[in-house]
Structure 1
């Protein structure tokens, strides 16, 4: 059974669902950038966050990110999730490298 809508996917525990932000292939002045300079982009938008992992006493550990946050993710890792033509990734909260404050 394939997912038809990403909104039907709810991460569990400390997992975070993200979608990589596609880099611009063209600059603001209209210059096209070569594919080699834009292929590895590690910024992503957080779409959904699980309720948090449990510590040894059974208390919830609040995730460090929230839906809508922009984050820096590792180049490799995570679990890919494909919905239609779009690709998403599931990471554990502690695998997220940084939160981008704008």
Structure 2
């Protein structure tokens, strides 16, 4: 009996973060090492890189205005493996984090 493998697909859900928060879609973890050894799910590290899919309005400043966000939708960012809050929508894993948790933007 053959089993069908499930492909991860993004759902049509709108997730709007508030303030200086952003939503990042994590990249897939490596299936095998550089030497060709296949990794089981329990041995895989969480990727610390992802693509920004949604951003908030920016931090509320003392004068009532909003500070501009330094990242934009579509940017590939680096962050620590413990950054933010992991959420799953459908089969896709996202990370909801503050802008201050982003370490760098890859160009």
TM-score by length of 2: 0.75
Structure 1 counterpart of 2:91: 85
Shift of 1:81: 1.6
Q: Give the greater-gyration-radius structure (CA).
A: 2
Shift of 1:55: 1.0
Asked if the contact 1:6/1:83 (under 8 Å) is kept, the reply is: no
Structure 1: gaps of 5 or more residues:
none
Structure 2 counterpart of 1:10: 16
Shift of 1:58: 1.2
Structure 2 counterpart of 1:74: 80
CA shift in 2, pair 1:79/1:8, >3 Å: same
Aligned length: 96
CA shift in 2, pair 1:64/1:6, >3 Å: farther
Structure 2: gaps of 5 or more residues:
1-9
Q: Secondary structure at the match of 2:23?
A: strand
- Higher-helix-fraction structure: 1
The CA RMSD over aligned residues, in Å, is 2.4
TM-score by length of 1: 0.78
Alpha-carbon separation, structure 1, partners of 2:45 and 2:58: 32
